[in-house]
Chain A
Amino acid sequence: MNKVNEIRDALSLTAEQTVSLRQEFKNISGSTTPWYMRVFTFIGALFALIPFLFFISLAGIFNSMESVGAIGCIILTVCSALTYKSQDNINLDPFIIVGLLLGQVLVTVFLITKIRNVSLSTVGVVGLVLELILFVACRSVTQRFLSIVLSFVSLSLIIFDSKQFSIIPVIIGVGAFVYTVIHLKRALLLYYEKSFPVLFVPLKYGLLIALIGMTSVSVPYSKFEIIEAFWWIATVMIVLSMIWFLLKVSHESKWPKSQLILFSGGVVLLLIPTLNAPGIALSMLFAIIAFRYSSKASLFLSIISLLYFISSFYYSLHFTLLVKSVILMISGILFLGAFTIVLKFWPEEAAK
């Protein structure tokens, strides 16, 4: 019950509130599960999935695709129901995760075999609906994370089948905005939806991974160069979200206006030359948000993606190596200049 005492001290709770909290904390064995335990369970579940697939194959279930689809749906329903039982208990998680993975594999196999008869868009719509249902119905953090990522995969199927590529930058921009909203408006969301804290983690990481994945199609010299002209829409939407976030942060951390203008202006200036490479703006937004909320995993992922998108940007420039080298040196010097400005002019006493 040390945790309860810690919470009591940090939040200055009354004796009555502390008793009520102590009662609630008695039943949450899975509450302190670190993230790597979930990764451990997921990897272990992937190992266990393979023998089950061998079994299904040897049992001849794959002979009838209708039965594959039906069994997949039954497994998904049962496992989703089980997540309510194991809500705060990670011990049941391995069984449920294996079941959910198996169910999704079976339903996917069923849908793929049906592509001959139905369009890819239909498969995408069914996948999207299925994943959204699983996100709402399942109470497993791992499944909710997977549902977000797979929803974006399904959405991509619909887009690529209907060739409506121009919608991708808008989806990325809206996704970045949603990512900012779930961080900035967390209190409001918690007030209206009491279960929001448990939705937050899978939503955050799912959006981060899915948006980085979707933005990677903006990298030129890939198969998707065809939609290069529209990427600025995504960058503008991301920058607007970033400025909104910085405004809130400056208010919260009591920055002087000059610092806010310096920060926001620097970001905008930096992103003007990379208007058609939204990955850079997106990774910067993720990095700033991750730093504000001390999320080391998100910060790590955003820095990796930033390195990827910056190197892709320079690689794709239609200039000679000499011009590229001059651009790189100038921007390097500008950044080092910015470093010196921060080092010299960011007031030390403001920290006190």
Chain B
Amino acid sequence: MKLKSNELQIVYNAVYDSEKDAEKLLAVNSPAPNQQGWKLFLERIFLAAGGIQLLAGIIFFFAYNWKDIHRFGKLGIAATLFTVAGGVAILFRNKSNLHKASLASMAVLVGVLMALWGQIYQTGADSYLLFLIWAILIIPITVISKSVYNWGLWTILLNIALIYHAGQVMREWFNPISGLFLILVNGGVLTVYEYLIKRSPSIKRVTWFSSLISLFLFVWLSIAAGAAVFMEKNSILILMNIVTVGSVFYFYYQKRESLGQLALCMLSGISMTFMFIVKYGHFVDGGYFLFSGFILVGLIAAAVKALQSIQSSWE
């Protein structure tokens, strides 16, 4: 049982009246973790702190001596670390956390190796190529890992590759084609993730992962819509924004209940309305802005009311 703060207040006021009662109520509402829970907490903290500091120490050590190391030595160091991480991943494949941490290190080290290669041999390649090839090369590791951390890294790399592609190849940071691809990539990852969860009940749902990808998706949708509204880019992006937001809303309303995702969809709609208000505002007419302000507040209130009704209907 997990009560919200005002529910807690109501329960206490309605049925209890002493400090002991309050203690009992709070103990039931937020029970203390058992020893196993504390053990897991400490294990994770120590492993993360130890791993990160040791890795940082090794990186600092080589950074200090970097100029004096031969180019094969530099590549050899990165390759050795990659192999060690791979070895740890194989040796400890039953220790879930260590296995996943090692595979994540391997994925990062692929990027380090590529960056080193580019630095030593001055390949002159664009930055987007580094991130794109990095994302392609780590696909096997990511698939094997079955870890949302690796999939998160993979998605971030693709996002960065597309952003650099827009700036370096398309020569225009806000261009409709790159915006379209960014929306497709994030929308695609979200769709595949939800599909896999539906197909295989053994896959545990990680809420933060789908929320993160949705956040990326909605940020790009809003930027694309902003570019369409303010910079008069291809207005098809506005249509795509509406269609994508509508589809996401339908899915998380009808198929998989998620109030957070619905709130994101509604926020996207409100931000779009805001953009239109600012774009078509007459900056001499105070009444227009007063009216618009009330429209926006009304929209938020209506959205909150709708979200509450949806939540009640689900309950």
Contact = CB atoms under 8 A, between A and B. Distances in A.
B119 interface: no
Contacts of A291: 33, 38, 41
Given A24-B14, A329-B58, A351-B36, A90 B304 contact: yes
B286 A191 contact: no
A115 interface: no
Given A187-B22, A346-B39, A198 B9 contact: yes
A33 B6 CA distance: 10
B54 A336 contact: yes
Nearest to B25: A11
A293 B25 CA distance: 14
B296 A44 contact: yes
A63 interface: no
Contacts, number: 261
Interface in A264-310: 287, 291-294
B6 A37 contact: no
B9 to A, nearest CB: 4
Interface string A310-351: 000010000011101111111111111111001100111011
Interface residues of B, number: 84
Interface in B1-37: 1, 3-15, 18-19, 22-26, 28, 30, 32-36
Contacts of B311: 32
B246 interface: no
Interface stretch (A91-99, A158-166, A224-232): A91-99
A195 interface: yes
B49 interface: yes
Contact of B52 (A32, A191, A330, A332): A332
Given A36-B263, A55-B293, A253-B32, A327 B301 contact: no
B51 A51 contact: no
B8 A197 contact: yes
A314 B299 CA distance: 48
Contact of B11 (A21, A254, A321): A21
Given A34-B260, A351-B34, A191 B304 contact: no
B262 to A, nearest CB: 10
Contact of B57 (A3, A7, A325): A325
Contacts of B301: 91-95
Interface string B263-279: 10011001100100110
A21 B14 contact: yes
Nearest to A192: B19
Interface string A30-51: 1111101100110111011111
Interface in B290-315: 290, 292-293, 296-297, 299-301, 303-305, 307-308, 311, 315
Contacts of B281: 51, 54
B303 A40 contact: yes
Interface of A: 2-3, 6-7, 10-11, 13, 17, 20-21, 23-25, 28-34, 36-37, 40-41, 43-45, 47-52, 54-55, 58-59, 88, 90-95, 98, 186-188, 190-191, 194-198, 200-201, 249, 252-255, 259, 263, 287, 291-294, 314, 320-322, 324-339, 342-343, 346-348, 350-351
Instruction: Report the 9 A-B pairs with minimum CB-CB distance, sorted nearest first.
Output: A332-B54, A335-B50, A328-B57, A329-B57, A325-B60, A332-B53, A351-B36, A58-B286, A336-B50
Interface of B: 1, 3-15, 18-19, 22-26, 28, 30, 32-36, 38-39, 41-43, 45-47, 49-61, 63-65, 259-260, 263, 266-267, 270-271, 274, 277-278, 281, 283-287, 289-290, 292-293, 296-297, 299-301, 303-305, 307-308, 311, 315
16 contacts: A30-B6, A33-B4, A44-B267, A47-B274, A48-B296, A52-B293, A55-B287, A91-B305, A93-B304, A188-B22, A197-B5, A197-B9, A253-B34, A263-B42, A350-B35, A351-B34
